[in-house]
Every structure is written in C-alpha cells, then in structure tokens.
Amino acid sequence: MSDAAPLLLDLPLDELPAEAGRSYRRDQLAGWLYARGAGDVDAMTDLPRAWRAELAGAWRVDPFDGFERFASRDGSVRYLFTLPDGRRTEAVYMPYARRTTVCISSMVGCPAGCTFCATGALGFGRNLTRGEIVGQLLAVARAEGVAPTVIRNVVLMGMGEALLNYDAAVSAIRTMIDPRGLDLSPRRITLSTVGLPRRIERLAGEGLPLTLAVSLHAPDDETRRTIIPTAHAHDVDDVMASLHTWYAATKRRVSVEYTMLRGVNDAPWQADALADRLSGLLSHVNLIPFNVWDGSPQAGSDRATIQAFRDRLEAAGVSVSVRFSRGQDSGAACGQLSWQQSHGAAGADAPAG
C-alpha cells in the first residue's frame, strides 16, 4: 500500500468498508481500528484472509510514517508525528493515576499567530484530516502499549485552532464518542479555541456537550489584540456573547484560559475587568504560568503576581485555579516541540523511542 492510499480513519464509521455488504464485518473492522487500535490490517486476524489482502491493498491504517517519542521526567510523553507529506504534528500523553489524558493537534502549525505561542511562530502548515486527528490517540496508545479505551480524556489543545478546521475536528469528535469508535464521554473531550464567536455558536448547535476551553488571555480588546492577532476581527463582547450562547445550549461550564504574561495582562485592574466579564456566566478560570520557550517574545508573570491575580479573582467570586502544565522539560507549550526541531534546538530530554 502506498502513502497515497486513502486512510481508513478518514471514513465516518457508517462508511467503513463491509466485506460483501455484510454490516457485521464493518463493525468488526471498526472494532479493530478503534477499540483495539490495530496498526495494520494484518493484525485483524479474525477478518477473512482475502478481505484483509483487499483492504491492505487499498487503504492505509496508520496516518503516520513514523514518530519521535520524548519522555518527560514528570511521566508525560510528547509525540512528534511525521505525516506522509513530511509535515509534522504533535500530541502529549499524560498518564495520570485515575484518568489518562491525551492532548492532540488539529493542524500542522496554526494561522492564528498568538504572540506567546510556539505553534503561532511556526505559521500554518495545513489542516489535519479527521483520521489524522483521531489517529493520534490510536498511535499514542499503540506506542504506549495500552488499549485506546484506556484514554478517557482528550484535549484538542495541541497545534492548531480546532474551530478553523471545523468539519474535520467535529467529525473526529463524533468518532471519539461513538460506541463503535472510542466510546468516550463528550464531557471528557475538551476543545480549546482562541475564541471565534461564529464558530462557537455553530458548535453550540451540534448537540455535543463538550468542555469548551476559551483562550481569553485578556479582558479588554486593546490588550487582547496585542496577544491574539485574530482578535482584531471581533471584540471581547462578541466572544462573551457566544459563550453565553454556548452555555444556554449545552449547560456546560466554560473553561477560560488565561496565560499570565508579565506586564501585559497581569495587572490588578485586569483581574477586576476579567471578573466583571465573567459575571453571570458559569465558568472556571485557569491561570497558566507562561512556559518561556527559546525565541518567545514575552516573559511570564512571577509566582507572587499570579497568586495576587488569583486572590483578586477569588475575592470577586470567580472560580479559579493555577494550572501548572506537565512536560516542561520536554517542550510543554503547544507547538514547542516542533519549533525546537525545526530550529535545531534539542529538547531537554533525548528522544526515548
């Protein structure tokens, strides 16, 4: 099978091949692809040999030509996948004691260009397909030697703005929650967005009670536009209105992501303005200490400033926590691993696999 062969994972579950039209064969194939996470057709031993040969000649199972694996001292593992066109994307495996989480990408690079983000510095490569998005979970599970069903939490927070790759991202999510797919609870899937109001409203109408994580990063338009170039297209009022629409449709609490940047968005008045913005919306704020990367144009707020910001929000009745990211020694910011590779800087740990 050549690299140009189509990818089985790109097919919606109902459109998977079925030997001689037998639907139970389609279900068997789906079981091998998703619940069992087979990496090639030869592993699907209870499918008829002739059909396996037919499938192997016509389709690819693994979206990736290879990967590098970077183990971090805290137990998380970063994966840098090579696609058949030579481009690279990444995922992070986080084996928490009670809930294994995988953070996956929706794009190669990202067009949003957020100033604090290593992926933004890479620019836009291309959108990932549905199969390349869900396939990251399967490839990580295979490499870790676990069944895909061990992964109970998925975060679309790696490279890319998922809502700018809307159809593929939503389609991948539908496969993740389908009992014939990965049978994940939609509540355990977090979709991270830079905050695109029209796309958030569209997502609200999909009937998917996901966890929505919105990168606000500033409560005022002037500051936000210095951090997030796409914020020139809409103001914070518009983003907040879309979050109310999201909550009305899903009854899901909104996660508000706020990366703490020294002298940019960490002043006391900005904490007060953020609390005002969130008044009346069921939300939780994650304050994210900035993980400085080689070449990043901004510095992170110090611990005392983050604590004071947090205290001010709490005093105003805002639900808030400080999120220390895992994998700091192997390239924790989204896109950081790829950025290091493309700029010749090695991660702190050597590739482990």
Contact 291, 325 (CB under 8 A): yes
CB of 183 to ligand SF4, least distance (A): 28
* Cβ proximity to ligand SF4, 63 vs 160, nearer residue: 160
CB of 26 to ligand SF4, least distance (A): 35
* Cβ proximity to ligand SF4, 51 vs 258, nearer residue: 258
Q: Which of residues 139-198 bind ligand SF4 (CB under 6 A)?
A: 159-161, 194
Q: How many residues does the chain have?
A: 353
Q: Give the separation between CA 324 and CA 121, rounded to whole angstroms.
A: 22
* Cβ proximity to ligand SF4, 132 vs 161, nearer residue: 161
Question: What track of x and - describes contact with ligand SF4 for positions 287 through 326 (by CB under 6 A)?
Answer: ----------------------------------------
CB of 189 to ligand SF4, least distance (A): 17
Q: Give the separation between CA 226 and CA 12, rounded to whole angstroms.
A: 40
Q: Give the separation between CA 58 and CA 114, rounded to whole angstroms.
A: 40
Q: Give the separation between CA 52 and CA 47, rounded to whole angstroms.
A: 6
Q: Which two tokens stand for residue 17?
A: 């091949």
Active-site residues, by number, are 90, 334
**C-alpha angle 275-281-284 in degrees, rounded to nearest 5:** 65
* Cβ proximity to ligand SF4, 63 vs 120, nearer residue: 120
Q: Which of residues 51-110 bind ligand SF4 (CB under 6 A)?
A: 110
Compute how many residues bind ligand SF4; rule: CB under 6 A: 13
- Which DSSP symbol is given to 65? S
* Cβ proximity to ligand SF4, 89 vs 119, nearer residue: 119
Instruction: Indicate if the alpha-carbon torsion angle 110, 174, 239, 304 is positive or negative.
Output: negative
* Cβ proximity to ligand SF4, 182 vs 196, nearer residue: 196
Q: Give the separation between CA 235 and CA 238, rounded to whole angstroms.
A: 5
Q: Which of residues 105-124 bind ligand SF4 (CB under 6 A)?
A: 110, 112-114, 117, 119-120
* Cβ proximity to ligand SF4, 110 vs 260, nearer residue: 110
Helices (H), the chain: 23-30, 49-58, 118-122, 130-144, 166-177, 197-204, 221-227, 236-250, 268-278, 303-315, 336-342
Q: Give the separation between CA 92 and CA 95, rounded to whole angstroms.
A: 10
Q: Give the separation between CA 311 and CA 318, rounded to whole angstroms.
A: 10
HSE at residue 62, side-chain half, CA atoms within 13 A, is 21
Residue from 38, 334, 338, 340 touching ligand SF4 (CB under 6 A): that is 334
Taking alpha carbons only, the member of 284, 279, 217 closest to residue 252 is 284
Query: Within its chain, how far is the Cα of 348 from the centroid?
Result: 23
Question: What track of x and - describes contact with ligand SF4 for positions 198 through 217 (by CB under 6 A)?
Answer: -----------------x--
CB of 158 to ligand SF4, least distance (A): 8
CB of 185 to ligand SF4, least distance (A): 24
CB of 254 to ligand SF4, least distance (A): 17
Q: Report CA dihedral (268, 271, 275, 278) to the nearest 10 degrees.
A: 160
Contact 140, 79 (CB under 8 A): yes
CB of 163 to ligand SF4, least distance (A): 9
| Residues binding ligand SF4 (CB under 6 A) | 110, 112-114, 117, 119-120, 159-161, 194, 215, 334
